[in-house]
Amino acid sequence: MSVDPEEFRSRVREFLESHAERRPHGIVPEWGEGDDRLSGFTTYTAEEEKVETAAARSWRRTLFDAGLGWLTGPVEYGGAGLGPEHQEIYDALAADFRIPSQRCFVVGLGIVAPTIAGHGGSDIKERYLAPLHRADLMACQLFSEPDAGSDLASVRTRAVREPGGWRVTGQKVWTSGAHYSDIGELLVRTDPEAPKHRGLTIMIVDMHDPAIEVRPLRQITGNADFNEVFIDGLFVPDSHVVGEPGTGWRVASSTLTSERRAMSRGGNTRDYDPLPRLQAAARALGRTDAATRVQLAELAVLSRVVAVTTRALAAADDDRAAFAPALGKLLMTDYLMRLRGVADHVIGPGIVADTGEWGTWVWHELTVRVLSQRIAGGTDEILKNIVAERLLGLPR
């Protein structure tokens, strides 16, 4: 669909002005004012999570009903049929407004929906794509198992053929958002006799089915974003298989690419990147010596390198574009790990002991959570192998 970018820009600006509050000038508030928690690295209570999720769903429904909820999606499945340049226009304008956090959609819209769109049949696309983008449904990813984390080809969750579908039994773990999800993208073994990469299948399952039990996992931060999921005799109809039975490894690889792409995007948004807050902390706490200023400047440069490199690879017109998410995720992890070290220096003892001083103790959540970045979406070691072998052409 051809839509003039300037006309679209005016339309988006009018929508945002009518439905959201503009941010004040500057990315972070005045030091010592308001909530000092770090977006993207904050521990929320169960009640706070419910409130945040409800606000996010309300915003997405308003956005979708205005024709802005799935800009690049095909019209026949509820999208606007526009190009990536229109999405960039929306993202740039929306960054200047206060809108509810959309982090609860990272899995559903950043991982599961692209898998359905890329590999699902027309029936499953019609059933799920528009409801996912309108937040009528929320989704989780059921891949990792107690004995199959990074080695996904070793999954043991079993699906046995029955008339009209499959009977599934097994266990998944580290499932983000399973406790508020309506559907899940499930990786199962459908052919135990086939080589381990060839006997896998992807299915979409109903998370409200009584054959599925979700148990929260309490983390070191005190909250429970992750869950264990137990599946006991779940029936999945053939219509809910994504792709053909036995092609699950190829579909799962596509899903992981989408996951890495979603993770590498996070640090390019104003709400997610903690660097502006760290710069403000350095000024407020008197950490303005030359060495600290150099470290903060290096972080600012690295942040831009992550954004520019990922965007350039994604726009490549050859096979390199396929590996942009892996490299982008590696770069983002490296950036956050370096930022973590500088934060330890800037905040000092306040990062390990709650003195009650505004803007200090909250940083302990980043120092703990950022370590998981080296695991989620593929460990650093696996991603380095992907980049080395498939992007750089190095030997195994």
Enumerate the active-site residues. 259
Question: Which are the contacts of 62, defined by CB distance < 8 A and separation ≥ 6?
Answer: 19
How many CB atoms are closer than 10 A to CB 296?
19
- Which tokens is 73 given? 């999606």
Distance CA 255, CA 129 (A): 15
Closest CA to 231 of 156, 315, 320: 156
User: CA torsion angle for 347, 345, 371, 270 (degrees, to 10)?
Assistant: 60
Residue-level length of the chain? 396
> Which DSSP string corresponds to 112-167?
IHHHHHHH--HHHHHHHHHHHHTTSS-EEEE--BTTBSS-GGG---EEEEETTEEE
> If 0-12 CB within 10 Å is exposed, 13-18 middle and 19+ buried, where does residue 3 land?
middle
Q: What is the DSSP letter of 95?
A: T
CA 138 to chain centre: 13
- Which tokens is 82 given? 């526009």
Question: Which are the contacts of 65, defined by CB distance < 8 A and separation ≥ 6?
Answer: 134
- The secondary structure of 61-91, three-state, reads HHHHHCCCCCCCCCHHHCCCCCCHHHHHHHH
Distance CA 61, CA 54 (A): 11
Using an 8 Å Cβ cutoff, are 387 and 327 in contact? yes
For the chain, how long is the longest CA-to-CA vector? 71
Tracing tokens 């998410």 back to the chain, one arrives at 325
Helix, strand, or coil here: 254? helix
